[in-house]
Structure 1
Amino acid sequence: MNSILTFLTSAMKPKGPHEFAGPCPQCGGEDRFIVWPDRPRGGAYLCRGCGSQGDGIQFMREFMGMSYPEACAALGLEQKHTTSLLSTRRTHVRPRPALPTQMAYVPPKPEPAVMPCKEWMGSASAFLAECQRGLETIPEALLAICGRFLTPYTALDCGIGWNPADRYILRESWGLPVVELAGGGMRDKLLLPCGLVIATRRKAGTVALTVRCADDRPESRPKYWQTQGSGNVPFIAGRAGLPLLLVESALDAVLVWQESFGKLAAVALMGNMKGLDSDTHAFIQAAPLLLACPDNDEGGQVAWQRWSAAYPQAILTPAVGAKDLGDMHRAALTWPINPDIPSVMEWIPGVLAFASRNSTTYALAT
């Protein structure tokens, strides 16, 4: 039986035991197109750039120009018979747009978040607490946190910790079922990899864990590892009632909260807005002033197209002289100093002043 992976180029690289990443057939890039070949109906795919997604049959119809029967035959799947004439109609390959920003976009309707079970949240909170012990004294932890220009206090405040080594724990202890493998084996362990732990928290507790894996990680392991069972909701740094900045990275959101001295909140919203729940949407809509700083690359163009469609009040405030705010901050503080590139602390007052001048509802306090 074939899968989506069978029909893609060798540019697809393993990013986990059941996940591959590479360029998108629709919008290009390097590793934005994610494929899970083991899933039913020939696998599943998702592009973090253009948002294209579906199962194996959808992939064959959208990108290979096949009809439904042809797609089933190519994947070795049994057809589901239907009386509709539409299922036998040939679907032609969709022409690739010159620029992703030319694609019309309709914002998805935010839905209530699906949170992890209580066992998962309790175990995740205990794991985070353990990873936050000794942040000021453990050399590895200090290097990881200070390497991101964060302080131990900021890390504690925003749910950042350090896991010094890979851990394999029983899935059942986190409320996760044992997974039956295709070869007849069982997966009863959950991996918590070594690296910088980033916890997404809500009133209910810790609802998601992502690890920025150590640089000496195994080649097949992705740079960012989301712990299985995590809720799919955006990371928030800060509180309601403040001006708000949309960014793509959770670590950039934390840096903004720190360097603004608690005057500018931030939400790490993926470029395709995946995981935007109704509560986070309401949090964004309630902000008295909304700014946006997508990455300065092709993916960032797509992100801005989607963000501005969902939030027309957002004011574009890009990073200066760098791909994102983290890179800008590093460049501003790295020798030789470039006076044209501001640190995040220097950048924030300027963009707040600019945005308030262009807002009809918000005035900057003087």
Structure 2
Amino acid sequence: MIEHLSGDDFLSLVGQRTALRKVAATNGGEWAGACPLCGGKDRFRVQPHGDRGGRWWCRSCRDGQPWASDIDFVFLRDQGFIPSNDHPEWPELIKGAFATLGLTIEQSRPSTRVVPDPEPPTACEPPAALWQQAALSFLGYAVDMLWKDGESQPSPRTYLHQRGLTDHTLRSAAIGYNPKPLYRPLHKWGLTDPTKDGVWLPAGYVIPWFCDGQLWKLSIRQTTPRDEGMKYVTIAGSSNVPYGIDTFRAGRPGILVEGPIDALVAQQALGQFERHGQPLSGVAAIGTTQGRSFRWLVQYSLCQPLFIATDADQAGDKAAAYWLDIFKGKEVARMRPDPHDFGTMVVQCGMDLRAWIATHLDRWWTSDLAPSPIQSVA
């Protein structure tokens, strides 16, 4: 019988198969590297010090599946499926590893059902008052820093302007800037976590996520991320909420995008937009696998219609397939950006996003709907 390894032994075992670096303090520490199964770069995650033993996961070959345990890793190692990277029979061993996990290489690609079921209807509440107080204090500092232009340095707003955002939008959205990494005492944010040294506030652009007039979440778009897969950092203690959810109104059209900057670009382009006498409800950012709590599903479902404008790439298409499946029979359609995302369309291509969205709305309202209202308006 295989037993759980100690955290250090498991980390050492994995480290013999792929180079790892620590990227977070989650669950006693999280390490990242190339996947020793599929070879996906920076998609592999290891948490060796969990209460129930170590665990590992890969965004590529285990996407949509739960974390696997250290026991699973040892089993695959003992079966010869996880050798060192220079093993001469590497490709065949990879196929065997997928088979052991109940997959094939082909099955790991997008399918009609490619993402997990929605989260159960658990409580969905804002952070405690002490956290909100500390977060608002930091946000106030960050907003001041965004508008503090130095004589010898470029304005910190330059990057945001390059992403297509105007000063008016930055002020309205209370976007801030943190010039250097900071750590703040956990207790001042109402948090207790023996695995964390404090609340980490990396250098970057500070984005507040509001709902019902309260601050639910802070995220920071890092200026110099160590891992390209972790450009955005969610500040400890934040609650899960779609960015811009307060803009949604029942019975009006709504758009779901991936990132908050894309949501702001779209909101900025639309303004007080109306089409055929109907104002556009709003634009909310949900990432590719977030925003699936029951409370948010209800709010999305009340939009008529709901457009899914996640990125035009594999992850965005997978997320869109999920929403089209979840809201089957509802007024929901794929609004696929061309190219990639709303920000790219505006900044790199110089497109009139307002007119582009208007065209898609016109197609919806003037088309003869089939018995199933699910359409692709890409």
TM-score range, shorter chain: 0.7 to 0.9
**Counterpart check, 1:319 vs 2:337:** yes
Alignment-derived partner of residue 213 in structure 1? 222
Q: CA offsets per residue over residues 270-307 of structure 1, 9 Å max, x none?
A: 322x3422222222111121111222222122212212
Question: Does the CA contact (< 8 Å) of 2:118 and 2:294 recur in 1?
Answer: no
Alignment-derived partner of residue 171 in structure 1? 186
Question: Does the CA contact (< 8 Å) of 1:66 and 1:92 recur in 2?
Answer: no
**Counterpart check, 1:230 vs 2:233:** no
Shift of 1:316: 1.0
Using the size of structure 2 for normalisation, the TM-score is 0.72
Structure 1 regions of 5+ residues with no counterpart? 68-90, 181-186, 334-341, 362-366
Shift of 1:332: 1.3
Cα distance between partner residues in 2 of 1:7 and 1:331: 41
Alignment-derived partner of residue 351 in structure 1? 360
Listed as ranges, the matches of 1:4-23 within 5 Å are 6-7=13-14, 9-10=17-18, 14-17=22-25, 18-22=29-33
**Counterpart check, 1:51 vs 2:69:** no
Alignment-derived partner of residue 64 in structure 1? 76
Alignment-derived partner of residue 95 in structure 1? 103
CA, structure 1 residues 284+324, in 2 after alignment: closer, same or farther (shift >3 Å)? same
Structure 2 regions of 5+ residues with no counterpart? 1-5, 80-98, 274-279, 374-378
Cα distance between partner residues in 2 of 1:27 and 1:102: 18
Q: CA offsets per residue over residues 5-64 of structure 1, 9 Å max, x none?
A: 844752655433533345668887544444333323333445556322235258549x93
CA, structure 1 residues 302+132, in 2 after alignment: closer, same or farther (shift >3 Å)? same
Q: 1:120 is matched with which residue: 131, 138, 152?
A: 131
CA, structure 1 residues 220+331, in 2 after alignment: closer, same or farther (shift >3 Å)? closer
Q: 1:292 is matched with which residue: 308, 312, 331?
A: 308
**Counterpart check, 1:332 vs 2:342:** no
**Counterpart check, 1:38 vs 2:49:** yes
Question: Does the CA contact (< 8 Å) of 1:237 and 1:254 recur in 2?
Answer: no
CA, structure 1 residues 204+4, in 2 after alignment: closer, same or farther (shift >3 Å)? farther
Alignment-derived partner of residue 117 in structure 2? 107
Using the size of structure 1 for normalisation, the TM-score is 0.75
Alignment-derived partner of residue 3 in structure 2? none
Alignment-derived partner of residue 240 in structure 1? 248
Alignment-derived partner of residue 266 in structure 1? 283
Aligned length: 321
Letter in 1 for 2:212: K
Shift of 1:262: 4.1
The RMSD of aligned alpha carbons is: 3.4
Shift of 1:349: 1.5
Q: Percent identity?
A: 25
Cα distance between partner residues in 1 of 2:286 and 2:137: 26
Cα distance between partner residues in 2 of 1:23 and 1:231: 30
